[in-house]
A and B are shown apart, each in its own frame.
Chain A
Amino acid sequence: MEVKENVKKFLEEDETKRLWERIYERFKEKGMDGIKKVLEEEAKKIQGEFERIKKNIEKQIGGEA
C-alpha cells in the first residue's frame, strides 16, 4: 500500500489527515524542502494573524506590551 494511505490509517482527525496529505504531496514534489515549506506556510498563517492582533492590542494600551 502507498505510504500516504498507510499513514492515514493511523490518523483520526480529518483536519490532521488533510495536513498529512499536503505534507506528503509536497514531499513527493520537492522532498524535505517541500515539507519545510508546507509546515512553515501553515505556521506563518497562524503567526501572521497572531502578530496582527498583538499589534492591535499594543496600540490599545499605548505601545509595546
Chain B
Amino acid sequence: MIGITRVKIRGFRGFTDEQEFDFSSPITILFGENGKGKSSLLNSIEWCLFGNDCIGEDTGIRERIDWEVKNRNTKECYVEIEIKENDKEYTVRRVWKSKTKDELSIMLPEGRTIYGEEAKKELVKLTKNFSFKDFLTSIYQHQEVIRFFLVQKPQYRNEAIDRLLGLSEYRNIIDGINKVGIKGETLQDEIDKMSEKVKTKIEVWEEQIEEKKKELNNKGIQDKEISEDGAKNLSANIKNSLEEFSQKINLNLTETFLTADGSDFAKFYALAKQEITRLRSEMPDIKKQKEIFEKLSRIKQDLNNYKSAQDVFSEKNKLLQEFIQRNGKIDELKKKKTDKEKEIKGKEKEKEEISLLAVLIEKAIKYLKSDMVINKNTCPVCGTEKEGLLDQLEKDYQEKYEKQLEEINKELEEKKNELKKIEDLISEYKKKEEDKMKFEGEFKKVSESIGNAWGIGERDDIENCLNNFKNTYEDELKEIEITVKKKQEELNKIEGKIDILSRIHEVLKLESQMEKARNIERSDDWQKLQEKADEYKKFAEEIKDIISAVKQASTDEAKSKIESVKEKISEYFTTITNHPMISKINFEVSVDTRTGGNSYEFKDQDGKNIIPVLSQGNLNALALSIFLALAESQDSPFNFLIFDDPSQSLGSAEKEEFCKILNKIAEQRNLMISTMDKEFNEKLKDKILKQEKIYEFKNWTPTKGPEVEGDKNEYGCIL
C-alpha cells in the first residue's frame, strides 16, 4: 500500500505562495472556518494523482464543472506529493500548463526523474490502476456528497448515492443522450406531411386542368383535340397558315421556323410568335402606310410654316399702311419737313435783324449814360436833338425790342418742336417699312422652299396646292388602312391559334405533372426516402436501447455493490446513530420508473422505509456509513482515507460514535480529516489515540492564500 507523507503546493486553487504540509502522522486534521483553503489542500492530492480526470461534469461533482485549477493571482501552479511504498520514496509532481494540459514527473527512489508518458505509466503502476472514480467512492469522502444526501428530494439523494457507489458516469451518459432529444418519428412525420401536400397539389391541378379545358371548349376546341396529337395537328396548321400568309404578301418565313419541330412546343411557340411580329412589321402595306404617314406629316409642317410666315408679313404690312393712313406717305412727310425748316430759317433772320437794332439802341443808351456826354438829348447816331431822348430810348428798348425778341424766340421754339415730330414720324416710317420688307423676304423664301419641295409653280397658290396634296394622301391612307387591317386580322387569327396551342400545352404539362405526382409514392426515390425515415427510426430505437442498457448496467452494478456492503452499512449506521427504532437497515435498489435512474430505498428490520423517520444527523450518518463500508470493501492501494467536512449535521453522540469508528480505522489506515466543527475537532483529539497532526487554517486572502498554523521544519515549512 502507498501512503502520502508530504504535500508541497503552489498556486493551486486557494493557494498562492508555496506551502508544504506533512501527512506522515496517522491522523492529520485540517481545522478552520469554511473558505480558508482546507478543501483546496485535499483537492490538490486528487489533482496531483489524477490530473484532469478529476475535473468536469463526468466526475459527478457539480462544483467540478468549470473548476479552475490555477489560482488567478499566481503565475505558477504545481502540486508535489511524496509517496511512500514500504521503504521506497517517490516524489510525484504535476505542473499546470493550461486548462487542458499539465506536465507530470516522478522522481524515483533511486533519484532519477521520469516525465510524460513514462511518468504516467509509473503512476498507474504505483496506484495499481486505481481510477479516479474508485478514489471517490473508497478514499475521498467529498462534502458535496453529504450535502446532497441531506437534501430531502429523493432525486438528489439517489444522485448522491450513485456518486457514492461510483455510478455517476452512467447517470451522466443518460443525461447527455437525453439532451440531444432524437425523435424516431421526425422523418416519418415529414414523409406523411409530404404525402398530404402531394394529394393537395393533385387536387389543385385537377381543378386547374378542368378550368383550362372548359376555357378551350368555349373557344371551340374539343376534348379529343386537347392531346399530344391535337397539339401536333394545330402546330402543323399554324405553320401552313403562316406560309400561306407570307406568300400572299411576298415575304419569306425564316428557315429556323420552317424546320422547327412542332413537338418541341416551347421552341415552336417562341419562333411562331417571332415570325408573326416580323410579318406584322415587314408587311409591304405597312411600309407604304408608313411612307404616307411621313408625307402627311411633312405637308402639315409645311402648311404651318407657310401660314406662319404669311401671317407675320401681313401683320407688318398692315402696320405700315395704318401709319400712312394716319400720317401720310413719306413724300408728304418730307415736304412738311422742308416747309418747316424754311419757316424756322425766316424767323431766325427776323430775329437777327431785330437783334442788330436792339444792340445799336443799347449802345446809344450806354453812351448817353456815360459821363463824357453832357448833352443827353442829342442822338449819337443821327445828331437829332430831342428832349428826354435817353428816357425815350430806354422806354422803347424795353417795350419794343425786348418784347419782340421774346415773341420771336417762342415761335422759333414751337417750330423746332414741330420739326422734331415730323423727323420722328419719318424715322418710324422707315422702321416699319424695313420690317415689312424683311418679313416679305422671309415669306418669299418659305414659299420658294415649299414650292420647290412639292413642285408647285410660282403662280400657283401654295396653300391650296398643299391642302390638295393632303387630301389625296389622306384618301390613299384610308384605303391602305383597310388592307392592313384585314391582314392584321389574318395574323390575329393565326396568333389566336398559337395561344390555343399554348393552353393545350399547359393542360398537357399539368396532366403530366399530375401523373408524376400520382405515381411518386410508388417511385424509387420515395422508396429511398422511406428507407431513410426507417433508418432514422431504427437509429432512435438504438439510442433507446442504449439508454435502457446503461440503466440496466447501472442498476446491475449498484445491486452488486450494495450486496457486498449492505451488512457493513447497517452496522456502521446503527453504531453511529444508535437509533432506538432501527436495529438493522436493508439497502435496496430499483429502477425509478419516472426518471429511469436508480432509486434507492432504506428499510428497517420490519421492511419499513426509514427515510421519513431519519433526522438530518441520521442522514449524514447514513452517507458516511455507505462511504465507510465501500472504503472497507475495496481492495485499495492507498493506506489512507480522506474526509472533507464529514460531520455536517451529526449530533454530538453521533460525532462521538463516528470518532470511535475512525479510531478503529486509524489502526490500519492514515486519516486526513478536514473540519470546521470545533466539537468534532475536540472529539477527534479526544477519541483517537494515534498521533495527530493539526493544521489550523486561520485566515485566507486572495493574494496570500491560506494562513496556516502548525509545526514548522528547519526550513520554515509547516510540519
A interface vs B, CB < 8 Å? 1, 3, 6-13, 15-16, 19-20, 23-24, 27-28, 31-32, 34-36, 39-40, 42-43, 46-47, 49-50, 53-54, 56-57, 60-62, 64-65
Report if B346 contacts A (CB, 8 A).
no
Q: Do B198 and A65 have beta carbons less than 8 Å apart?
A: yes
Q: Do A11 and B545 have beta carbons less than 8 Å apart?
A: yes
Contact partner, A57, options B173, B187, B513, B529, Cβ 8 Å: B529
CB-nearest residue of chain A to B131: A2
Q: List residues of B (536-561) whose CB comes within 8 Å of A's CBs.
A: 536, 539, 542-543, 545-546, 548-550, 552-553, 556-557
Number of A-B contacts (CB under 8 A): 121
B513 partner residues in chain A, CB cutoff 8 A? 61-62
CB-nearest residue of chain B to A46: B536
Q: Do B520 and A23 have beta carbons less than 8 Å apart?
A: no
List the 10 closest pairs (A to B, CB-CB), nearest first. Answer: A35-B176, A10-B549, A32-B176, A6-B553, A50-B532, A39-B180, A61-B517, A7-B553, A16-B542, A10-B552
Q: Do A35 and B177 have beta carbons less than 8 Å apart?
A: yes
CB-nearest residue of chain A to B537: A46
A-B contact pairs, 26 of them (CB 8 A): A3-B553, A7-B549, A11-B545, A15-B542, A16-B542, A16-B546, A19-B546, A23-B546, A31-B176, A32-B175, A32-B179, A35-B180, A36-B176, A36-B179, A46-B535, A49-B532, A50-B187, A50-B190, A50-B529, A50-B532, A57-B194, A57-B525, A57-B529, A60-B520, A61-B198, A61-B516
Report if B523 contacts A (CB, 8 A).
yes
Q: Do B556 and A6 have beta carbons less than 8 Å apart?
A: yes
Report if B214 contacts A (CB, 8 A).
no
**Shortest distance in angstroms between B63's beta carbon and chain A's nearest beta carbon?**
15
A39 partner residues in chain B, CB cutoff 8 A? 177, 180, 182, 543
B545 partner residues in chain A, CB cutoff 8 A? 11-13, 16
**Shortest distance in angstroms between B136's beta carbon and chain A's nearest beta carbon?**
14
CB-nearest residue of chain B to A48: B532
Q: Do A54 and B553 have beta carbons less than 8 Å apart?
A: no
Q: Do B525 and A60 have beta carbons less than 8 Å apart?
A: yes
Q: Do A61 and B546 have beta carbons less than 8 Å apart?
A: no
CB-nearest residue of chain B to A10: B549
**Shortest distance in angstroms between A11's beta carbon and chain B's nearest beta carbon?**
5
For B499-542 the 0/1 string (1 means CB < 8 A from A) is: 00000000000000100110010010110110011011001001
B643 partner residues in chain A, CB cutoff 8 A? none
Contact partner, B58, options A31, A40, A65, Cβ 8 Å: A31
What CA separation (Å) do A59 and B545 show in the bound complex?
Answer: 37
B56 partner residues in chain A, CB cutoff 8 A? 31
Q: A9-B553, A32-B57, A42-B539 are in contact. Are A27 and B173 (CB under 8 A)?
A: yes
Report if B172 contacts A (CB, 8 A).
yes
Q: Do B529 and A54 have beta carbons less than 8 Å apart?
A: yes
Q: List residues of B (157-209) whose CB comes within 8 Å of A's CBs.
A: 169-170, 172-173, 175-177, 179-180, 182, 187, 190, 194, 197-198, 201
A20 partner residues in chain B, CB cutoff 8 A? 546, 549
A43 partner residues in chain B, CB cutoff 8 A? 180, 182, 536, 539
A10 partner residues in chain B, CB cutoff 8 A? 548-549, 552-553
Contact partner, B532, options A6, A53, A62, Cβ 8 Å: A53
**Shortest distance in angstroms between A63's beta carbon and chain B's nearest beta carbon?**
8
B516 partner residues in chain A, CB cutoff 8 A? 60-61
B532 partner residues in chain A, CB cutoff 8 A? 46, 49-50, 53
Q: Do A61 and B533 have beta carbons less than 8 Å apart?
A: no
CB-nearest residue of chain B to A8: B549
Q: Do B187 and A46 have beta carbons less than 8 Å apart?
A: yes
Q: Do A61 and B57 have beta carbons less than 8 Å apart?
A: no
Q: A36-B180, A39-B180, A49-B532 are in contact. Are A57 and B546 (CB under 8 A)?
A: no
CB-nearest residue of chain A to B538: A15
**Shortest distance in angstroms between B130's beta carbon and chain A's nearest beta carbon?**
14
What CA separation (Å) do A10 and B542 show in the bound complex?
Answer: 12
Q: A13-B542, A23-B173, A62-B513 are in contact. Are A47 and B548 (CB under 8 A)?
A: no
B535 partner residues in chain A, CB cutoff 8 A? 46
Q: Do A61 and B520 have beta carbons less than 8 Å apart?
A: yes
Q: Do B57 and A23 have beta carbons less than 8 Å apart?
A: no
What CA separation (Å) do A62 and B552 show in the bound complex?
Answer: 51
What CA separation (Å) do A35 and B179 show in the bound complex?
Answer: 9
B179 partner residues in chain A, CB cutoff 8 A? 32, 35-36
Indicate the member of B177, B543, B546 with the most A CB atoms within 10 Å.
B546
What CA separation (Å) do A6 and B533 show in the bound complex?
Answer: 31
What CA separation (Å) do A19 and B546 show in the bound complex?
Answer: 9
A61 partner residues in chain B, CB cutoff 8 A? 198, 201, 513, 516-517, 520
Q: A43-B539, A46-B536 are in contact. Are A54 and B548 (CB under 8 A)?
A: no
A16 partner residues in chain B, CB cutoff 8 A? 542, 545-546
Q: A9-B553, A16-B542, A53-B525 provided; 14 other pairs, C-beta below 8 A?
A: A3-B170, A3-B553, A10-B553, A19-B546, A27-B176, A36-B180, A39-B177, A39-B182, A43-B182, A43-B539, A49-B532, A50-B190, A50-B536, A57-B194
Q: Do A47 and B536 have beta carbons less than 8 Å apart?
A: yes
**Shortest distance in angstroms between A43's beta carbon and chain B's nearest beta carbon?**
6
Q: Do A54 and B194 have beta carbons less than 8 Å apart?
A: yes
B57 partner residues in chain A, CB cutoff 8 A? 31-32
Contact partner, A7, options B529, B539, B543, B550, Cβ 8 Å: B550
Q: A7-B549, A16-B545, A57-B529 are in contact. Are A24 and B520 (CB under 8 A)?
A: no
**Shortest distance in angstroms between A49's beta carbon and chain B's nearest beta carbon?**
6
What CA separation (Å) do A27 and B174 show in the bound complex?
Answer: 11
**Shortest distance in angstroms between B236's beta carbon and chain A's nearest beta carbon?**
29
Q: A46-B532, A61-B517 are in contact. Are A11 and B198 (CB under 8 A)?
A: no
What CA separation (Å) do A64 and B201 show in the bound complex?
Answer: 10
**Shortest distance in angstroms between A26's beta carbon and chain B's nearest beta carbon?**
9
What CA separation (Å) do A50 and B57 show in the bound complex?
Answer: 35
Q: Do B172 and A54 have beta carbons less than 8 Å apart?
A: no
Q: Do A27 and B58 have beta carbons less than 8 Å apart?
A: yes
Q: Do B549 and A11 have beta carbons less than 8 Å apart?
A: yes
Indicate the member of B56, B177, B532, B556 with the most A CB atoms within 10 Å.
B532
**Shortest distance in angstroms between A29's beta carbon and chain B's nearest beta carbon?**
11
Indicate the member of A10, A28, A32, A47 with the most B CB atoms within 10 Å.
A32
For B125-148 the 0/1 string (1 means CB < 8 A from A) is: 000000000000000000000000
B175 partner residues in chain A, CB cutoff 8 A? 32
**Shortest distance in angstroms between A57's beta carbon and chain B's nearest beta carbon?**
5
**Shortest distance in angstroms between B192's beta carbon and chain A's nearest beta carbon?**
12
A13 partner residues in chain B, CB cutoff 8 A? 542, 545
A64 partner residues in chain B, CB cutoff 8 A? 197
What CA separation (Å) do A49 and B173 show in the bound complex?
Answer: 28
